[in-house]
């Protein structure tokens, strides 16, 4: 097992299952704009680069003129419905407790206010040194400029830090920064794309982290 000092967790698709609430808010937005709704799988494929990209992709190339209105509709709806069906993935609380003596961060392209509210309501916010959202710092995943200052702030080495996530941006963040990467294959991200990036570690389930790291 690899000894680590810090664990950097993605949020959506890694710690919490939030796909249905995101998809429902996107489709609410499209309905309000008089546009046809999208199937859940298509919307989930748009997740991972923040809310603006999610909305742009959902609108499609033809309807960028509706972007500002769509953002307002989505944000208002999602703020009220982000916990309708969103839950922790099985084993998450056990893993956070198991690694309670390790430094842990949430680093997500989701807006900070949404992330904090969900983490608080699901009772996991206290496990983390910090929660970094898309609007918390100037850089976003997979920019190494996001993670390098955090490594310095918490005094940990690159090869003693692992980025854990279900998205391409998580693996690329680790590779761009020089940290270890661990792909979660049961989240919202595309499994084949994750594996094609050659992550240092892979898990079918988050509980497997116990066997990989100490």
The conformation of residue 49, written as its DSSP 8-state character, comes to: S
Decide the pairing of beta strands 16-17 and 87-88: antiparallel
- To the nearest 10 degrees (0 to 180), the angle between helices 51-59 and 19-32 is 50
Region of 53 please: left (phi>0), alpha (psi -120 to 50) or beta.
Answer: alpha
**176, 175, 173, 199: which is closest to 184 by C-alpha?**
199
Q: Which residues are catalytic?
A: 10
- The residues, any chain, with a CB within 8 Å of residue 131's CB and separated by 6 or more, are 105, 106, 108, 112, 115, 116, 119, 125
Scan for tokens 């000894």, then name that residue.
3
How many Å apart are CA 45 and CA 180, to the nearest integer? 25
How many Å apart are CA 24 and CA 40, to the nearest integer? 8
């Amino acid at each position: 097992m690899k000894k680590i000092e810090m664990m950097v967790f993605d949020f959506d698709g890694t710690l919490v299952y939030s796909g249905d609430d995101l998809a429902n808010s996107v489709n609410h937005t499209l309905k309000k704009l008089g546009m046809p709704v999208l199937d859940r799988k298509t919307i989930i494929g748009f997740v991972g680069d923040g809310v603006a990209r999610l909305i742009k992709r959902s609108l499609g190339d033809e309807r960028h003129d509706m972007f500002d209105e769509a953002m307002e509709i989505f944000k208002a709806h999602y703020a009220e419905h982000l916990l309708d069906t969103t839950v922790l993935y099985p084993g998450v609380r056990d893993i956070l407790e198991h690694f309670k003596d390790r430094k842990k961060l949430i680093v997500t392209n989701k807006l900070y206010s949404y992330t904090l509210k969900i983490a608080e309501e699901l009772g996991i916010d206290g496990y983390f040194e910090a929660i970094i959202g898309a609007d918390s710092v100037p850089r976003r995943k997979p920019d190494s400029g996001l993670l390098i200052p955090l490594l310095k702030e918490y005094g940990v080495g690159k090869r003693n830090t692992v980025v854990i996530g279900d998205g391409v941006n998580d693996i690329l963040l680790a590779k761009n920064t020089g940290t270890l990467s661990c792909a979660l294959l049961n989240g919202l991200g595309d499994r084949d794309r994750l594996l094609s990036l050659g992550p240092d570690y892979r898990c079918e389930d988050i509980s497997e982290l116990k066997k990989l790291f100490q």
